[in-house]
Amino acid sequence: MSLGPYTVWAPDAQRVDLVIDGEGGPTGEPMTRVTDAPPGHAGWWRSETPRFAGTRYGFALDGGEPLPDPRSLSQPDGPFGLSEVVDTADLSWSDDGWAGVPLRGAVIYELHIGTFTEEGTFDAAVARLDHLVDLGVTLVEVMPVATYPGERGWGYDGVDIWAVHPALGGVAGFARFVDACHARGLGVCLDVVHNHLGPSGNTLIPFGPYFTDTHSTPWGPAVNLDAPGADEVRRYLVDHALFWFRELHVDALRLDAVHALVDDSALHLLEQLAAETDALAAELGRPLHLVAESDRNDPATVTPRAEGGSGGLGLTGQWADDVHHTLHVLLTGETQGYYADFAAPEALRTLVATPFFHDGTYSSFRGRTHGRPVEPSTPGWRFVASLQTHDQVGNRARGDRLSQLVSPGRLACGAALLLTGPWTPMLFMGEEWGASTPWQYFTDHTDPDLAAAVSAGRAAEFAEHGWGDGVPDPQSPQTAADSTLRWAELDEPGHARLLDWYRTLIRLRLEVTDLGDPDLRTGRVSRDGDVIRVERGGCEVVVNLGAQEWRGGASGRELLAGWDAQVAARGDGPELVVAADGCAVLRRA
């Protein structure tokens, strides 16, 4: 069945040829310029040649070599090959009754498909979904799956952002994964990158003004959101987001580094995207979420939009790295770089009262004042907090996890503080059992010069900090292999004990109202030496990070869960005993 005409936006081209790869080889035919496009959206070309699923095709601009479709859904031969027509109606779904998942009350699990299992595919990941259900996860966050040159990588160098990387299983494999998640009651959040493409394989530039020199980002020219031609570029990004919701049934998008989406328009791209996402959610009858990664510490990201445009951007949630930094400093004692400020006693308030330690305060790492205060009435669930993420682990020289830095008891303490807090907690794959595998930076750049530069640059960057030859080569296949989870560890007693602790904490979070209460006005945190106490309603978490056993009164309190902690009898009433690197979760009886 024909899927309609071929279309492409190429406003500066004088001629566009549709190239079809048939039995006799590639053949080209001129496309027709569309003349009735509304202002700001001119430059479209059209061919009435019928599209059929499986056809390989490309577009040749002004007599040049054929390039892949900017909206291609499949690049079987990578970003330098021809596109493949995909009929999304051919995808098999069994989730007609799926009602979605709310962000409030969610437990997120971040994973990288390529290293989640040894096979590194969507289908192999499906076989491990029951583990996530048993753990108590409700929303699976999948790191980027866009196509890029090579076989392996983190996914943030995608260039064909609509096309699912073939090494992972392509668009059909992704659909099977989403469907399998929904069958188990798991929502799916996809990590997407709109702030840059590349550094290799970007074929968008010949098609039109997708990028602008008006602004810049750490990755080069900025995506064009406010310069001439921006209307259609914005449409490209918004349509891309809506595509995942509508056609691939995802429940949420994690938007990478939105601070790099530089937009001086009156209507910021993120506000436009949020409004159109909300409209689609109403049409589909299920919640759809946008969760931003932002370096700004600006609560306006999640402040609801208001009529007349006077409110915030209206996204559902955003990452809160300050919570991670506070927990990391507490557990490891590291205070270098951006961790320096978080050794201050005031940083503890990120555990209960604000996700932003820098909320208009001075940041020594940035050398300036940073952030804005969060209104206490803002619900804590709008902020995603973590002990570990792909960034915070992978950007270390050797990709060492917390399990390589601290004792199992300290891992348990960190989990207790995270999973009983007011924020939406997110786990990084393998964290729940203290995986022994590192998570290292790995690439597979096919451009020899780029590959050599990345390897040399990574080594030089960390050599300045004394790491020398210990930095893994990103281009080595072994680096990705070393970062792959070893599921056999679940059968080892130490790993099994930590996994059971995570299960217990997540279960308690769901069952005990005061644990995880998102009201930022109800929590209190205090520190007495190495002992940290967090109170929320009728519950309390006691964490002993000292080298000696700690004892305190326990009258009228029930021990809900303890790691090397117990309530013991004494003459004048029960006593809570918490070992070094131990913790306890209590409730008023």
Annotated binding-site residue? 159: no
Q: Parallel, antiparallel, or unpaired for β 531-536 and 523-528? A: antiparallel
| C-alpha pair distances (Å), 515 with each of 444, 511, 523 | 43, 8, 10
Say yes or no to pLDDT of 309 above 70: no
| C-alpha pair distances (Å), 229 with each of 13, 234, 262, 309, 484 | 14, 9, 15, 23, 43
Sign of CA dihedral 467, 469, 474, 480: negative
Annotated binding-site residue? 336: no
Task: Answer whether 210's CB lies under 8 Å from 228's CB.
Answer: no
Say yes or no to pLDDT of 28 above 60: yes
C-alpha to C-alpha distance for 418 and 410, rounded to whole angstroms:
12
C-alpha to C-alpha distance for 336 and 75, rounded to whole angstroms:
43
C-alpha to C-alpha distance for 330 and 342, rounded to whole angstroms:
9
Annotated binding-site residue? 415: no
C-alpha to C-alpha distance for 319 and 146, rounded to whole angstroms:
21
Q: Give the per-residue pLDDT at 219.
A: 83
**Catalytic residue numbers?**
256, 293
| C-alpha pair distances (Å), 53 with each of 6, 25, 29, 175 | 12, 18, 19, 16
Annotated binding-site residue? 340: no
Say yes or no to pLDDT of 103 above 80: yes
The CATH code belonging to domain 524-588 is 2.60.40.1180
Q: What is the mean pLDDT of residues 438-446?
A: 96
C-alpha to C-alpha distance for 237 and 196, rounded to whole angstroms:
11
Annotated binding-site residue? 259: yes
SS3 label, residue 406:
coil
The percent helix, strand, coil of the chain (3-state, each to 5) is 30, 25, 45
Average pLDDT value for the chain: 95
The full set of domain ranges for the chain reads 6-67, 524-588
Q: Parallel, antiparallel, or unpaired for β 146-147 and 160-164? A: antiparallel
Annotated binding-site residue? 395: yes
C-alpha to C-alpha distance for 209 and 374, rounded to whole angstroms:
37
Annotated binding-site residue? 258: yes
C-alpha to C-alpha distance for 530 and 580, rounded to whole angstroms:
9
CA angle 274, 278, 280 (to 5 degrees): 115
| C-alpha pair distances (Å), 151 with each of 120, 121, 142, 165, 464 | 11, 12, 17, 8, 30
What the block records as the tokens of 294 is 């932002």
Sign of CA dihedral 10, 13, 14, 20: negative
Same fold, 6-67 and 524-588: yes
Cβ neighbours of residue 42 under 8 Å, at least 6 residues apart? 11, 34
CA angle 255, 259, 265 (to 5 degrees): 100
Annotated binding-site residue? 393: yes
Q: What is the mean pLDDT of residues 17-38?
A: 88
Annotated binding-site residue? 131: no
Annotated binding-site residue? 322: yes
Say yes or no to pLDDT of 361 above 60: yes
pLDDT band at 528 (very low <50, low <70, confident <90, very high): very high
Q: Mutual orientation of helices 321-332 and 408-419 as an angle, nearest 10°?
A: 150
Tens digit of each residue's pLDDT (9 = 90 or more) over 196-214: 998 899 999 999 999 999 8
* Domain at 6-67, CATH class: mainly beta
Q: State the residue for tokens 């009754």.
A: 97
- Does the predicted model carry a pTM greater than 0.75? yes
Tens digit of each residue's pLDDT (9 = 90 or more) over 41-80: 999 999 999 999 999 999 999 999 999 999 999 999 999 9
